[in-house]
Structure 1
Amino acid sequence: MAAESAEQLVQKKCKPCEGGVDPCPIDQARDQLARLEGWRLTDDGKRIRKEWTVKNFMAGIAFFRRCAEVAEEDGHHPDLHLESFRKVSVELWTHAIGGLSENDFILAAKIDQLPIELKQE
């Protein structure tokens, strides 16, 4: 998998993955993450995650609703976390292969385009 810009990734659609393919190697994942602002590797390089601090609880729920719509449209579903009523995070990996696939980076790029009400500093 060659690293692509966020603009290139959002033009793609996630492909069904039922397993049988190898997860993205960690060096390729790092190359791709260099093009996606704020996302980082977790779980020994098997997942990617991004965190935000939103304006309030309902801003977090609204963001998750938008994430869910994009995820459902592509058939690739993230883990959504809400903690301390304002800290939201999204974690992506391809469950069927126990690691990262191109789908995870595609969905990350699409999530980055969603509006989110951040807490004012």
Structure 2
Amino acid sequence: MPTHDLLSSPAGDDLRRQSCAGACGRDTPKLTREEITKHLASVPQWKVDAELTRLSRRLVAKNFKEAISFFNHVMEIAEAEGHHPDLHLTNYRDVQVGISTHAIKGLSIYDFILAAKIDAAPVECSPKWLAAQEQELRGGHQHQTPESTQSSDKQTLVEAEIATTSAQCI
């Protein structure tokens, strides 16, 4: 069964070894633009909004049951970490996960830790969606970062995203 799996990502592994331990509060340090850019490399399927306050990830599960199973895995992770994402399901299998540290109205290291742990949760994705994702990446779509990526790095970035997407959710 094809699954969503980032366990081979060394940077993701570093984040997964850490814990939120329910430590989010008003005194949690807000990440800088540079720190956000650095951590995005560890969770390449996640995007950050223009205000640098929220991470989000989208996928299309194979079916409704698989989407709900993924949500249950995410719930277990969130409860263990004491840091809870927003989960949205539309069209019976379109999954959207959003993460932010509400207490600081921004992003903290805990958001990236949770994202990396969610990336290790199994989910069987729609083969059509995966094929479309790979086609989009081959067509020149770049991973969103807070800063522009140099065009000379574009091909390498696209190839890395294709490999990561295939490993995560086939």
TM-score (normalizing by structure 1): 0.91
Alpha-carbon shift at residue 28 of structure 1 (Å): 1.4
Alpha-carbon shift at residue 43 of structure 1 (Å): 5.2
Alpha-carbon shift at residue 117 of structure 1 (Å): 1.1
- The one-character-per-residue Cα deviations of 1:41-76 (angstroms, maximum 9, x if unpaired) are 025110101110101111111100000000000100
Q: Which residue of 2 aligns with 1:114?
A: 121
Q: CA RMSD in A?
A: 1.4
- Runs of 5+ consecutive residues of structure 1 not aligned to the other structure: none
Q: Which residue of 1 aligns with 2:60?
A: 53
User: SS at the partner of 1:31?
Assistant: helix
Aligned with 1:67 (options 74, 92, 102): 74
* Greater strand fraction, Structure 1 or Structure 2: 1
User: SS at the partner of 1:82?
Assistant: strand
Q: Which residue of 1 aligns with 2:14?
A: 8
Give 1:83's aligned amino acid: T
* Greater helix fraction, Structure 1 or Structure 2: 2
Give 1:53's aligned amino acid: V
- Is 1:27 the equivalent of 2:34? yes
TM-score (normalizing by structure 2): 0.66
User: SS at the partner of 1:88?
Assistant: strand
Q: How many residues align?
A: 118
Aligned with 2:105 (options 94, 98, 105): 98
Q: Which residue of 2 aligns with 1:37?
A: 44
Provide the identity percentage.
Answer: 38
Larger Rg: 2
* CA–CA separation in structure 2 for the residues paired with 1:46 and 1:26: 10
User: SS at the partner of 2:56?
Assistant: strand
Give 2:11's aligned amino acid: S
- When structure 1 is superposed on structure 2, of 105-114 and 20-29 the one drifting more is 20-29
User: After TM superposition, which residue ranges in structure 1, 4 or more long, deviate above 2 angstroms?
Assistant: none
